[in-house]
Structure 1
Amino acid sequence: MGYGAKLTSKGQTTIPIEVRKYLNLNPGDQMDFIIENGEVKLRAKTRSIMEFAGILGHAPNGVRLTIDELDDAVAQAAADDDRRIMRDWNRYERTSQIPDDGRSETIRKRR
């Protein structure tokens, strides 16, 4: 079924209510216009995150995590990354010497 609309001199149009309801469009929502095989398609860009559940299929290793387990894993990865960065920085600090009146000092003093 098709619905008609009129184009204004500013290039604007009103999306028919039936289409807005079908796409669940609300003021401020974004849309994509897709040109494919000589046709223009309108697709709502704003989606609920729940609509993406399962989009990637099953985990390749078969492990399923809860939200809390995912949060813990992300926090652990961030902590591991922070430790690595600090270790590398400390290694850099020990090896980066600058001359100072015949003495060598580290670039950054420890607190």
Structure 2
Amino acid sequence: MASATITSKGQVTIPVDVRNELGLSAGDRIEFILNDATGRYEVVPVIQLVKALKGMIGKPERPVSIEDMNAAIVEQCVLAR
């Protein structure tokens, strides 16, 4: 059985076996969900589906071609130097 210690700041290092089983890596988010049936919390990886991103960025005023996109990327690269 895996175990961990809570630091004075309330932080916990998730044991490597648990991270591997849940498919977690650095930067991933987890949720703590109360299971009403058991009264225990469950640790669940937060997974956002691509569908959840729909509508985050408005539609462009006019269609943008691949050539326009490539030109914009080149322009930003030049400005970044």
Q: Does 1:20 align with 2:19?
A: yes
The answer for the alignment partner of 1:45 in structure 2 is 46
Q: TM-score, normalised by structure 2?
A: 0.53
- Structure of higher CA gyration radius: 1
- Report SS of the residue matched to 1:28: coil
Kindly provide the CA deviation profile for residues 49-86 of structure 1, in whole angstroms up to 9, marking residues without a partner as x: 6xxxxxxxxxxxxxxxxxxxxxxxxxxxx8xxxxxxxx
The aligned counterpart of 1:30 is 29
Aligned residues: CA RMSD: 2.2
User: Sequence identity of aligned pairs in percent?
Assistant: 37
1:11 aligns with: 10
Uncovered stretches (5+) of structure 2, i.e. residues with no partner:
51-58, 60-81
Q: For each residue in 1:4-60, what CA deviation from the matched residue of structure 2 results, as whole angstroms up to 9, or x when unmatched?
A: 1000000000001000000110111011100113101001113676xxxxxxxxxxx
> Which one-letter code corresponds to 1:36 in the other structure?
N
Amino acid in the other structure paired with 2:18: V
In structure 1, list runs of 5 or more residues that go unmatched. Answer: 50-77, 79-111
Structure with greater contact order relative to length (CA < 8 Å, sep ≥ 6): 2
Superposition misfits of 4+ residues, deviation over 4 angstroms: none
